Structure 1
Amino acid sequence: MNPISLFFLAMAMSTDAFAAALGKGASLHNPRLSEALRTGLIFGVIEAITPVIGWSIGQVASQYVERWDHWIAFTLLLVLGLHMIYNGLQHDDESVEKPSQHSFLILAVTAFATSIDALAVGVGLAFIDVNIWVAAASIGLATTVMVTIGVMLGRVLGNAVGKRAEMIGGVVLMLVGAAILYEHLTV
């Protein structure tokens, strides 16, 4: 995977966490940078671990599907991208009471929920030539930065931008999948 595709993959993987961080930041009164960094690190570490787990699962299966690997990666990224767009289009009609602070457990559960797509992407990455450690570190770093920024911007921007960010992330995922397919079909 070329560095540009890796950059866009990392950014796409962090958009759902960014959307969640906007909500977390919006639910706090004047969040401090230390709270934003704490939240970013929790999300970033979890988001970096999940593609490695997915990649490990994909490595076991890769020998059986080597001829179809690029199609599998493309399909996974396409489905995940469409799912992110679908989630971004959903209306949130429920009113949730805002917490006064975020516990580690709540942040970890939220981070895990937003990293499920990174697990599936990790499976897809097992089928292409990519250094999973560089990809996972890139995803984790991008998520840490995006979540930290998201928490700080959350009180200003709120949920409207969060939904748009998730939809943009879905489109970027689909474009990364198309680039992978294109690279393999033109070789």
Structure 2
Amino acid sequence: MYFFEMLLSAVSLSMDALAASLGIGACLGAATGGAAALRVAGACGGFQFAMPLAGWFLGSRFLVFISGYDHWVAFGLLALVGGNMIRESFKPEDPACPPSDPSCGIALLTVAVATSIDALAVGVSFAAVGAPVMVLASWSGAITAFACFGGVLAGFRVGQLLGRKVEFAGGLVLCLIGANILRVHLMG
């Protein structure tokens, strides 16, 4: 695969994670922007690096088992996290009980996995055509990490300006990413 095609593939794989990072950043509380940006960048970049490798190593045998429902898994994970963000946006502000942080724990893990499932499929396709996957995995991981870091910081700034409305919008964006993944797979 040529340099430009490899770079374009890596950038394309990072777009879902970037959109999710913007939403996550918009939902963050007062002074957690920088640390959250590092966590999201590390998790999403790490999964975008690992998933093509996993797909390549497991090869086409694995695709037979997951191709029937991979889009449902991604949709379900993103809808779960996005739906929770939407629900949180309607709760009244309570200083004693801050809203959950989507840049930590299971919420971050589900976003990182859901936005990198397509990278798993790309890794399988690389194995099918005998293409080397390490360059794609490295670029995809690095580009995703940088994009997510900037996305969380940008989302954080917008969230500070617009308040809880952005949390709703961020949750809606995650749900729409999941719905788009489902639409693409179901429409062929």
Could you tell me the TM-score, scaled by structure 2's length?
0.63
Provide the residue aligned with 1:12 in structure 2. 12
Q: Give runs of ≥4 in structure 1 deviating > 4 Å.
A: 157-160
Provide the residue aligned with 1:53 in structure 2. 54
Shift of 1:11: 0.8
1:109-158, CA deviations, whole angstroms, 9 ceiling, x for partnerless residues?
A: 21001111111111111133532111111111111011111111113285
Measured on the aligned residues, the alpha-carbon RMSD in Å equals 3.6
Residue type matched to 1:150 in 2? G
Quick one: percent identity of the two aligned structures?
A: 33
Counterparts of 1:34-49 in structure 2, within 5 Å, are 34-49=35-50
Counterparts of 1:71-90 in structure 2, within 5 Å, are none
Provide the residue aligned with 1:152 in structure 2. 153
Shift of 1:60: 6.0
Provide the residue aligned with 2:129 in structure 1. 128
| Preserved contact between residue 13 and residue 118 of structure 2 (Cα < 8 Å) | yes
Distance 2:59 2:86 in 1: 39
Provide the residue aligned with 1:173 in structure 2. none
Q: Does 1:97 align with 2:88?
A: yes
Provide the residue aligned with 1:116 in structure 2. 117
1:14-60, CA deviations, whole angstroms, 9 ceiling, x for partnerless residues?
A: 11011111111011024422220121011111111111111122266
Kindly tell me the number of residue pairs found equivalent between the two proteins. 146
